[in-house]
Structure 1
Amino acid sequence: MKQKFEKYSTESIHFLNDTPLPAVLEFKLKETRQKKPAISLLDLGSGDGAWIHSMLKRNLINFEHDQITASDLSVDRLNATKQFLPQVKTVQSDACHIDALPDKQFDVILCTMLIEHVDDDRELLKEIRRLLKDDGWAYVTTVVKKWYGLYIYRNNGHIVLDPTHVREYPSLKKFVQLEENAGFKINRYKQLIYKFQLSDLFFRLLVKLKILKPKSLRTIYMKNPWKTIRNLFRIPILGFYVAETIIQSNRSEKYKRHIL
């Protein structure tokens, strides 16, 4: 799997940009900051560090007081994170078993568009629960595919949004039930239309054809002010949606006895 993702990391880039963060995530981060002068945050499946970059630009995190950690299976993407965000601690690991990180370390965990990639989604949720502090929370998103979903990629004979997706959930309800069964309280859940940037598709094609190097593309998006133009041209993909959830560990004794 590691080799598969390393290859994927050279062909599919997480663009660093100034797109707005989801409103519910921004609200929860501001709420947490009001309660705690310093926070510990983990970005699971961090890619090139795009989410950390966006939070930093909006002053939702700061490197002077906060402990910011990025974890990814791809060494290439973690190196890209260190290139643009050298203050971030990076951990190369399978997201389901991050042995380098102790229990109950993080106030906030981001797990965006990762759970559909891992072999065992229950193991990933178990690891998130282990890493969260008792009063911590996690922002988790994934892909919902309706029966009529249509796109250009296939995996194991199924149409998928991404060639490395192991699964795509049939409904928001099914995904929320999975989180509840893993021992989480659901604070927020919502289904959003999945939209894709046309310019990203164009640049990915240039990388695929080896006309442009992935590292050069990262620099283009970081250094040029016109990078935000990409957000003006978004199109929905037929039958695909985003499941957005905010979850907290349910650590009551009654509930712990129930899930053991």
Structure 2
Amino acid sequence: MIWRGRDISRSMVALVTSLSALALLGLATHAPRWFGHDEGFANVAPGLLTVAPEARGVATLGGGVAVSLYSDGMRITRDNDMLLQTVIGGSMLSAVQGHTTGTGADTREHVDRQLDNVTIDELVFLPGRATYFGHAYDDAGSVPFTLRIELAGSSIRIGASINGADAVVWHLNRQTGTTGLRPAISRTNLRGRAAWIAPSTPEGRAAFTTVLGTDVGAGPQRVARGVDLLSAGRTDVHIWTDSGFLTVSSQARPRPSPTTS
């Protein structure tokens, strides 16, 4: 009976030790995210989106590509295929003031202010181009911006110029199967991760792809660019300039046909 008691005691000690180790591992894994910072990225969340009546609706760019903007967000489609959708029910971008340190994978963001709320006031449409004028704001003030969506050869370019910003953060609706694309980002599933785009990656070169079959890149090349999936429900693209843009393939890749034996 004595030996049996010792065996039970040793088993309990081993169990407690194992559980403690697992708890510490979980803490080490999630603690940076609890503090709002991981892989050098600041947590820049979307705010409110307001769209004036005259800016709402669908703008057809040509080639079956259309942009729709309503109070629940922006969508870019080609025929019946969804190419890109901004976060649902929130602003499609944020204006950031601050700076970065380091380069490449060692880049770290230092955010002093983020203007997350967006109002779109006006749409000016020209063949192949939709230009929106608006402002981003917080409790302390606002900054004006221009948002331009246009056809650019085999891709669609979505650019924002924000007066008074040091960075533009795009807020995209999270799609399953978001995967990095070389040489911009290692080819791995980005769920719950964040990664900086390799500085040598040309501007607009695809950095990641999704289950929709479209590829998304960012520019310009000379600045820090990163893809952040640390927050649930959205994919944030950070571009450290006052004029940053995304490129989206203008046609979804065909999905493989099921093989027959």
TM-score when normalising by structure 2:
0.27
Task: Return the structure number with greater relative CO, CA threshold 8 A, min gap 6.
Answer: 1
If each structure's strand is expressed as a fraction of its own residues, which one has the higher value?
2
